[in-house]
Amino acid sequence: MPLYEGLGGIGLINEKNTTVVLDIGSAYTKAGFAGEYGPRVITRSEVKCRETGQTVPVFQYKDQDELRHHLVDFIHKLYFRCLLVNPKDRRVVVVENLLCPSLIRNVLSKVLFRHYEVLSVLFVPSHLVALMTLGISTGLVLDLGHQEATLMPIYEGVVVFHAWQALPLGGRVIESSLSDLLLDRAVAVTQDGSEHRLSTLMKDMPDKCLEDIKVRTCFVTTLERSSRLQSNKYDRSVEPPPPPTSVSYPLEGRHILTVPGTVRELAAESLFERDQDGLTLATMILDALLKCPLDTRPKLAENLVILGGTASMKGMKHRILAEVRAAAASEHYRHNLPIASFKLHHPPAKDNYVSWLGGAILGATEAVMLRSLPRDQYLVNDVVPDWCNLSFNTCEERDEKCA
């Protein structure tokens, strides 16, 4: 019985030390054991390419064979360098995004079953298990990852598929905006004490350096300050707010980079600018509510859950909530979506591994035995049940496949 049909009737089991929980993201991977409070390791989703010898992202591949090689090497690193356990005859819980490509899912299953001979694999939806950390079964879950933002409404443990939303807004967008702002406005002090514009010293900023600057120095400004900045951008008569303090950042051990306060404040504004279709993070949430049944909307609006690595940026959640409330009061949504209040949950974990923690909780229950795909069954059928495959969503055929 697939997990997305609900979470009723799940009891605890004493098998927490034998179940491995993996949450493989596009930028970082969380790995650990079921029943624990946090992952044993959070590592970059990178692997050394067998052909070029260079370090590349795991999901940067040209064909299926290259993806399989990347996953074999990466999972070997997770088991034998990070977790220090033998993968054979161990159960595995894989926390996945429901919008993950089927190719990645199938290749990952083949690697786990055929190469590492794991006992069973259970794929769990990241948005759904995130609610288990809060002890609730209804929520509007927004996952702000590195590449995109995905939104899933969940009502009484069941994912409302037809109301999902996704936009290419995430940590990569912030880093791209930060790079442009730094090259345009930042100043670096060289070893001889002279100042130079950053654009004269380098053409591109390294990705790891951009990520470090983003995490250490940048923040999300308030809606009021953002409105004043936008007004000043188009009307110079409007007084802009005083800029934040500039900070110094050591660059490549040779230069001292001065990050202006305006850059620290404006880097994340690209997440809240409307695209050509007029969509933002706030409209994602409101549009998802409009697609949900009328009687579920008030409860979903009062159970907003925002997670993901980008969500941990200072001021992010406060700004999203302010944007949602402002957009809900606009002419377009006020009459179609009369909701009195929007409330936000604070999960009992860091934002970047909330979904992993939900998978660890589920992995410590009997669901890991009742709902997993066993190795012997996979070797017979060589197929993984998938929610988007209609052959696994009809009662008769599903029962025949599971028999």
105 and 18 together in one domain: yes
Q: Which residue has the higher pLDDT, 4 or 111?
A: 111
179 and 255 together in one domain: yes
Instruction: Find the mean pLDDT for residues 119-148.
Output: 94
7 and 103 together in one domain: yes
What's 72's domain CATH number? 3.30.420.40
- 339 belongs to a structural domain: no
> Domain range spanning residue 10?
3-132+351-402
Instruction: Find the mean pLDDT for residues 109-114.
Output: 94
252 and 371 together in one domain: no
Confidence of residue 130 (pLDDT cuts 50, 70, 90): very high
- 158 belongs to a structural domain: yes
- 15 belongs to a structural domain: yes
159 and 15 together in one domain: no
Tell me the pLDDT tens digit for each residue of 64-92: 999 999 999 999 999 999 999 999 878 99
Tell me the pLDDT tens digit for each residue of 304-351: 999 999 999 999 999 999 999 999 998 888 888 888 889 999 999 999
Q: Rg (Cα) of the chain, in Å, rounded?
A: 23
β-strands 195-197, 55-57: how paired?
unpaired
The DSSP code sequence of 281-347 is HHHHHHHHHHHS-GGGHHHHHT-EEEESGGGGSTTHHHHHHHHHHHHHTSHHHHTT---S---B---
- 343 belongs to a structural domain: no
d(CA 49, CA 131): 36
d(CA 274, CA 255): 36
What's 245's domain CATH number? 3.90.640
Indicate the residue among 256, 271, 286 that finishes a domain.
Answer: 271
Tell me the pLDDT tens digit for each residue of 272-289: 988 777 789 999 999 999
- 341 belongs to a structural domain: no
Per the prediction, the chain carries an average pLDDT of 87
Indicate the residue among 245, 271, 297 that finishes a domain.
Answer: 271
89 and 232 together in one domain: no
pLDDT at position 293: 92
153 and 198 together in one domain: no
Q: Where are the beta strands (DSSP E) in 156-231?
A: 158-159, 165-167, 187-189, 195-197
Confidence of residue 175 (pLDDT cuts 50, 70, 90): very high
13 and 155 together in one domain: no
Indicate the residue among 271, 286, 308 that finishes a domain.
Answer: 271
287 and 259 together in one domain: no
192 and 213 together in one domain: yes
Question: What's the CA angle centered on 372, arms 160 and 352, to 5 degrees?
Answer: 60
pTM, two decimal places: 0.89
Report how far apart, in Å, the C-alpha atoms of 338 and of each of 110, 183, 271, 304, 329 are: 48, 44, 25, 17, 9
126 and 257 together in one domain: no
d(CA 266, CA 188): 19
Residue with tokens 């409101």: 286
- 256 belongs to a structural domain: yes
Q: What percent of the chain has pLDDT over 70?
A: 90
Tell me the pLDDT tens digit for each residue of 22-42: 999 999 999 999 989 999 999
pLDDT at position 304: 96
β-strands 19-24, 91-96: how paired?
parallel
Quote the number of domains for the chain. 3
Tell me the pLDDT tens digit for each residue of 371-403: 899 999 999 888 888 777 777 766 555 455 555
- 344 belongs to a structural domain: no
pLDDT at position 236: 61
Cross-strand bridge partners of residue 255? 251
- 155 belongs to a structural domain: yes
287 and 142 together in one domain: yes
pLDDT at position 234: 62
